Amino acid sequence: MDHFPIFLSLKGQKVVLVGGGDLAARKLRLLRKADAAVTVIAPSLCPEIEELVAQAEIDHVGRKFLNDDVTGASLVFAATDIEEIDAAVAQAARAQGIKVNAVDRPELSDFIMPAIVDRSPIVIGISSGGSAPILARNLREKIEGMLPPALGRLASFADSFRGAVKGTISSGNERRKFWENFFDGPIAESVLSGREVSARENMLGLINRNWKQENADGHVAIVGAGPGDPDLLTFRAMRFMQQADVVVYDRLISDEILDYVRRDADRIYVGKAPGQHSHSQDEINDILVREARKGLRVVRLKGGDPFVFGRGGEEMDVLQSAGIEVDVVPGITAAVGCAAASGIPLTHRKHASMVTFVTGQAGDDMTAADWSGLVNSRQTLVFYMGLKNAGQISDRLIKHGQDPKTPIAIIENGTRVDQRVLPGQLFEAAEMVQRHQVTGPSLIVVGSVAAYADRSDLQQITNAALENKNTASFLNEVAVAAQ
């Protein structure tokens, strides 16, 4: 280890920064975050530093550096980007026994500034010892993406209760178990989600009662896993998946997504396929309640977004009625994710000013649909679960006035490596399903934007077609471009 990692308190302490340009400004931002009393030595200043001087936020000595300028400083920074001046600053600081950092000059530096992940009071420093600063920065960016923005608030929240916990739980081992349960539990999640008032109330109740018994009932997170590509999982979804004791999942959840679940979590498959229900919805609800009442952290993992044709609302109602705490984690719904992965804009100034999601399953929902209201040349329709009824969907739309040649696209296994995008026209929807043997999870996109699924000539005719006031002619031109 070439450098000893250490965190210094600079609050109120004098720090000398030599240099007034952009290089110095970058260091100044960090020093101000640490509440240091900064004195800038430079004959001229960049606008950012000049503004801070005008606001009396920092001190400024408007001349060239002199050796005595470092006297009384806790730390010194040389940030002129002029080698001879930076070397002189380093020599002056060392002569007085003061640690110095010359920016981007490790050979002149007593200490190195790491790449910093700031979630104060949680701070992470990453250093390559000056050998590969870009690599250190890349690592910082990866870690930044892994950590919740509110992590610092969670640390401060926990600190505010340390005294109360210590006064209530005398055993050090029991306190450790308490905090382990807290940081992995629903109260911590409430803080991370911005619900700090309710989190504080629940924390007080947890401390004042028997905390082991308080954890008797578990917690359920209804998590949207997105349309299939694991890269589209949200950070919050992955956090719950890593904490889960039990995951209850359906057939839309790929093995690649399940790989992100904690390895020792129990997995319960409750998948449904058309005409093949391994579990009824009531049975799934019972499983969620049963597992939560064991005191476990349960994740109900759903494809897409749990509140868009996912029955997440029904499951939430049942769990809340049973007195079980529930969190809902949004996911990228299939229509949005699959359309984007297929290059199909659901809305477009030249083609569609609205988008409607419709269930394509037979039953009361489909029968009750306002089919005449769905017919609109400036609207995109996305049918979920519509493969089996593709013919019925096209017949009803055409019957209510939709042009039979309206472009459509069937997206199978959207966002996944085996994605297929099949362009066509509305009148041939059922025949397309049969001809291409579409069997995987699919969406049917209806509207002029669906022509973007095969847009080799679309761009050339779009502007000319838009000048035509005749809607049918416009749609026909778009459809021809899609063929």
Q: What is the CA radius of gyration of the chain?
A: 30
**Is 23 labelled as part of a ligand binding site?**
yes
Active-site position among 229, 250, 327, 403? 250
452 DSSP 8-state letter:
G
Q: How would you classify residue 397: left for phi > 0, otherwise alpha for psi between -120 and 50, otherwise beta?
A: alpha
DSSP of 277-294:
ESS-HHHHHHHHHHHHTT
- Give the whole-angstrom CA distance, residue 81 versus residue 439: 63
Parallel, antiparallel, or unpaired for β 75-78 and 266-269? unpaired
Helix segments in 170-280, DSSP class H: 172-183, 186-192, 196-208, 211-214, 235-243, 255-258
405 tagged catalytic = no
In the block, residue with structure tokens 């063929």: 483
**Is 303 labelled as part of a ligand binding site?**
yes
- Give the whole-angstrom CA distance, residue 246 versus residue 220: 9
In the block, residue with structure tokens 């329709």: 381
Picking from 61, 17, 62, the residue whose alpha carbon sits closest to that of residue 36 is 17
Interior angle at CA 345, CA 450 and CA 478, nearest 5: 35
418 DSSP 8-state letter:
T
**Is 305 labelled as part of a ligand binding site?**
yes
**Is 229 labelled as part of a ligand binding site?**
no
- Give the whole-angstrom CA distance, residue 430 versus residue 396: 13
- Give the whole-angstrom CA distance, residue 459 versus residue 296: 54
- Give the whole-angstrom CA distance, residue 50 versus residue 28: 12
Phi, psi of 300, rounded to the nearest 5 degrees: -95, 105
- Give the whole-angstrom CA distance, residue 455 versus residue 350: 15
Give how far Cα 243 sits from Cα of 202, 230, 420, Å.
Answer: 20, 17, 34
**Is 414 labelled as part of a ligand binding site?**
yes
399 tagged catalytic = no
**Bond before 330 cis per omega within 30 degrees:** no
Active-site position among 272, 388, 395, 457? 272
Output the CA torsion sign for 82, 83, 87, 88. Answer: negative
Beta bridge partners of 35: none
- Give the whole-angstrom CA distance, residue 185 versus residue 80: 49
Report yes or no: 103 and 78 within 8 Å, Cβ to Cβ.
yes
94-109 burial, b at 16+ Cβ within 10 Å, e below that, comes to eeeebebbbbebbebb
**Is 447 labelled as part of a ligand binding site?**
no
State both tokens at 257. Answer: 């997504």
- Give the whole-angstrom CA distance, residue 107 versus residue 118: 27
Catalytic residues: 250, 272
List binding-site positions.
Answer: 22-23, 43-44, 227, 303-305, 308, 333-334, 385, 414
List binding-site positions for NAD(+).
Answer: 22-23, 43-44
List binding-site positions for S-adenosyl-L-methionine.
Answer: 227, 303-305, 308, 333-334, 385, 414
